Structure 1
Amino acid sequence: MSDRWLAERKREHYYRLAKKLNYRSRASFKLAQIDEKFHIFREGDAVTDLGAAPGGWLQIAKERVGETGKVVGVDLQKIEPLEGVQTIRGDMLKPETAEKLKELLGGKADVVISDMSPNISGSYCMDHARSVELCTYALNFARQVLKPKGNLVMKIFEGDMMKGFLNDVRSSFQNVKLHSPKASRDSSSEIYIIAKGFIPPKEPVPEEEQ
C-alpha cells in the first residue's frame, strides 16, 4: 500500500464520519481529539473561534461548553447559522473586526481557538511566514481577551520561524506543547500549538498589536 493511498483512506474516513455525525468539517475531529488529550474546554466556558468557517470547530466547542457556555466565531467567509452560536464576518487582521468580536463576546474568554490558515501560494517559506503572522494576531488577541489561566489553541505551519514564535507564546502561558491530532493528514505540515494557563500581561496589550 502506498502512503498516498493510506492518506486518502484516512481523509475519506473522517470525511464520511463528519457527514454521518452532521459536522460541517472533518476538522471537527482535530479539535475533538485535541480536547480529549489536553482538556481545553469546561462546561460553561466562553470561547472565541478565529477562522471559524464553515463551523466545524464551533460545533465541537458548543458541545463541550454546553448550554451555559458561550461560543462566538469570526471568518472572512460567511458562516451559516448554528444554534447557540454567534458569528460575524470580517478580517481578524483589521482592528475593527477584533473590536466587533470583543463586543459579541461581552467580556473575557476562557478559551481562544484559531484554525486560521493562509491562502496557499506554492512557496512554502511564504506560506509558513504567513501562518506565523496569523498566529501572532491570534496570540495578541488572546492576550487581550483571555481570563487568567485561560487556554489557546492555534494551527501553525512548521518552519524555521516557529521556535521564536513558541518562545513568545511561552512568555504568556504556563504550559505550551505542540501536537498533531490523528485526524490531521500524515503528509500535512500543520501542527497545533496547545497553550494552557494564561498569564495576563502586567501592562494592557496595545490595540495596534492586533
Structure 2
Amino acid sequence: MTRHRLSDKAHRHDAAYQRAKQENYAARAVYKLEEIDKRFHILRQGARVLDLGCWPGSWIQYAGDRVTETGYVLGLDLKPVVLSFPAHVEHRVADVFEWTPGPDLPPFDVVLSDMAPHTTGDRHTDVVRSEGLAERALDIACMVLRPGGHCVAKVFQGGGFGELLKRFRASFQEARPYHAKNSRSTSTEQYLVGRGLKASATVRRP
C-alpha cells in the first residue's frame, strides 16, 4: 500500500506525528480512531464503513486494515485523497451536505466522521460550524446505517453540544461523549460515540 505524507504541518515533531510517519499513516489522527475503536469496539472484520471527511486518509487506512478484504470502506471528502488502496477501500470527492446514498450502496455497519470546519479564528463561528458537521454526520448515519450500526463523530464542544448529545442518545441504544487521550490537551474536540442505531431512528433514503 502506498501512503501519502503526513498532513499535520504545525506539529511535525510531536511523538504521535513521528509514530504515524514511521507506521506509514497519512496523519496522526489515526491514533484517535484506534483509541476509540479499542475502547468501544466500533470496527470488526467484514464490516461496511462510511468515512465522512476522510482526507488525508489515515482513518480509511485504519478502517480498511480492520475490516480486511471481507469488508468495505468508502471515504468522502471535498479533497481527493492521494493514496493507493486495496480493492475493498475507495474514496470519492463529494460535499456531505449534498451527498445522498445511491441505490448501489447497501446499508453500512459504521459511520465515521472526523470532519472539521475550515477555522476562521472566531471560536463561536468555528464551534457552530463543527456542530453543523456533526449533525450532518448523524443525519447521514440515520440514512445509511443498518439498525444496530455505530457512529463516531467529532465536534468542537460549545453551546449546542448538549442538544447534539441528546440527539445521539435518542438515535442509539448507547451514546456518550469521549475525549481521546490522543487529542491535544488544548483542544475542545470531543467524539460523540453512538452504538446500536435504534430501528426507530432510521430514515428512509430519498
Q: Do the structures match in fold with TM over 0.5?
A: yes
Within the candidate set 75, 88, 94, 1:90 is matched to 94
1:98: Cα distance to partner? 2.5
Q: Secondary structure at the match of 2:185?
A: coil
Structure 1 residue runs of 5 or longer lacking an equivalent are 1-7
Is residue 165–residue 176 contact of structure 2 (8 Å, CA) maintained in 1?
A: no
Pair 1:206–1:68, CA change in 2 (3 A): closer
1:204: Cα distance to partner? 3.5
Which string of whole-angstrom CA distances, capped at 9 and with x for unpartnered residues, describes residues 120-157 of structure 1? 01111111111111111110110011011100000000
Q: Which amino acid aligns with 1:73?
A: G
Alpha-carbon distance in 2 for matches of 1:30, 1:10: 17
Match of 1:133 in 2: 132
Structure having greater relative contact order (Cα 8 Å, sep ≥ 6): 1
Alpha-carbon distance in 1 for matches of 2:34, 2:169: 24
Pair 1:147–1:130, CA change in 2 (3 A): same
Q: By percentage of residues, which structure has more helix?
A: 1
1:168 aligned onto 2:171: no
1:51 aligned onto 2:50: no
Within the candidate set 71, 74, 77, 2:76 is matched to 74
Alpha-carbon distance in 2 for matches of 1:174, 1:11: 40
1:30 aligned onto 2:29: no
Match of 2:183 in 1: 184
Which string of whole-angstrom CA distances, capped at 9 and with x for unpartnered residues, describes residues 163-208 of structure 1? 011111111101111111221101011110111010023673464x
Instruction: Give the RMSD, CA atoms, in angstroms.
Output: 1.9
Match of 1:111 in 2: 110
1:83: Cα distance to partner? 2.0
Match of 2:4 in 1: none
1:99: Cα distance to partner? 3.3
Pair 1:205–1:33, CA change in 2 (3 A): same
Runs of 4+ in 1 over 3 A off after TM superposition: 8-11, 202-207
Alpha-carbon distance in 2 for matches of 1:170, 1:74: 25
Pair 1:31–1:51, CA change in 2 (3 A): same
Which string of whole-angstrom CA distances, capped at 9 and with x for unpartnered residues, describes residues 28-79 of structure 1? 1100011011100111000000000010000111111111010000000011
Q: Which amino acid aligns with 1:43?
A: Q
Structure 2 residue runs of 5 or longer lacking an equivalent are 1-9
Alpha-carbon distance in 2 for matches of 1:127, 1:202: 28
Match of 2:122 in 1: 123
Please, what TM-score do these two structures have when normalized by structure 2?
0.89
1:14: Cα distance to partner? 0.5
Alpha-carbon distance in 2 for matches of 1:136, 1:203: 15
Q: Secondary structure at the match of 1:171?
A: helix
Alpha-carbon distance in 2 for matches of 1:206, 1:55: 27
Is residue 53–residue 75 contact of structure 1 (8 Å, CA) maintained in 2?
A: yes
Alpha-carbon distance in 2 for matches of 1:133, 1:109: 22
1:11: Cα distance to partner? 6.6
Identity of aligned residues (%): 36
